[in-house]
A = this chain, B = another copy of it.
Amino acid sequence: MSNTTPKKPAGSSEFREYHTPTSGLFFRTGRVLCSRSSAFQKIEAFNHDFFGTVLFLDGLVQTTEKDEFYYHEMLVHPALACHPAPERVLIIGGGDGGALKQVLLHPVKHVTLVEIDPQVIEVSREYFPWLKACLKDKRAELVVADGNEFMAQSQRLFDIILVDSSDPVGPSAVLHQKGFFRHLKKRLNPGGVAACQSGSLLLHAPTFRAKSKFLKDIFRVARFYTGPVPTYPGGIWVYNFLSDAVDPLDIKRKPAAGLGYYNADVHRAAFSLPNNLKKLIG
């Protein structure tokens, strides 16, 4: 089937994420759910035979119903598992609700989701089965605001802060920069933990050295970890675990039942870094 382009069925559309200018993922679908431009980005959603509902933001796969759990479980549970009693949680970004869903599996008291783009919320609420239910949870609070400004201006404190941003290149770049993490640190309670996504080992490696350096300047514990995400470029995703007090290998609480990927063993394993990543972060 290679080296030829089979004809599309009538009425079908092809969505592509370009990982490089000449390669990437394609999805063909006959069921486009939404295609619009918000003040911030192009928002597209479609239904795919294998991946279910797929959300594209500015031409990049943000969420697929089939495999979102890989990313969201590994963003959320390592930080929460290492805190003895997380009560107040902040999520920056994450308008698709995937991280929120994972946080609400824990006995937390309050979760604040700060999403810049109300249309991402609207589309996700319509097409992802979990978001409507999560937003009905009395512990969940939705704030439509710029995550960077929220972090700089808020006076509130949190036990856990999760940065569920887009990639380190493009409009979310500010959420991967030193100034943002300086403010973030001030919003953590003593004993608090933050986790953020740092992008693709295949594509964003050039950003890791500088990020590693400034995170180590800011936090006493600034560890990289990895996890797979089938529909993200290169399949291996890179995260950071940030704290002034908490060892990422000191798991304090058992994981929720019924998770697709995460367990205490893969939590510990995720901090065993491959040679190429170790070399990059020094």
Interface residues of A (CB under 8 A from B): 1-3, 5, 13-29, 32, 35, 42, 44, 48-51, 56, 59, 67, 201-202, 226, 228-230, 232-236, 259-263, 265-266, 268-270, 272-276, 278
Please list the 8 inter-chain residue pairs (A to B) with the smallest Cβ-Cβ separation, ordered nearest first: A235-B235, A269-B269, A265-B272, A269-B272, A230-B234, A22-B28, A2-B59, A20-B50
CB < 8 Å neighbour of A48 from B17, B23, B266: B23
B21 near A49 (CB under 8 angstroms)?
yes
Looking at A50, A233, A235, A266, which has the most chain B CB atoms within 10 Å of its CB?
A: A235
Q: How far is the CB of A21 from chain B (nearest CB, A)?
A: 7
B276 near A44 (CB under 8 angstroms)?
no
Q: Which residues of B contact A50 (CB under 8 A)?
A: 19-20, 22-23
Q: Which residues of B contact A266 (CB under 8 A)?
A: 272-274
A27 near B22 (CB under 8 angstroms)?
yes
Residue of B nearest to A278 (CB): B263
Q: How far is the CB of A161 from chain B (nearest CB, A)?
A: 25
Q: Which residues of B contact A230 (CB under 8 A)?
A: 201-202, 233-236
B16 near A1 (CB under 8 angstroms)?
yes
Q: Which residues of B contact A273 (CB under 8 A)?
A: 265-266
Q: Report Cα–Cα, A35/B269, bound state, in Å.
A: 41
Q: How far is the CB of A269 from chain B (nearest CB, A)?
A: 3
Q: Report Cα–Cα, A202/B51, bound state, in Å.
A: 11
Q: What are 18 of the A-B contact pairs (CB < 8 Å)?
A: A2-B17, A3-B44, A22-B29, A22-B48, A23-B26, A23-B48, A67-B234, A202-B230, A226-B228, A230-B235, A259-B275, A261-B274, A262-B275, A263-B272, A263-B275, A266-B272, A266-B273, A269-B272
Q: How far is the CB of A247 from chain B (nearest CB, A)?
A: 16
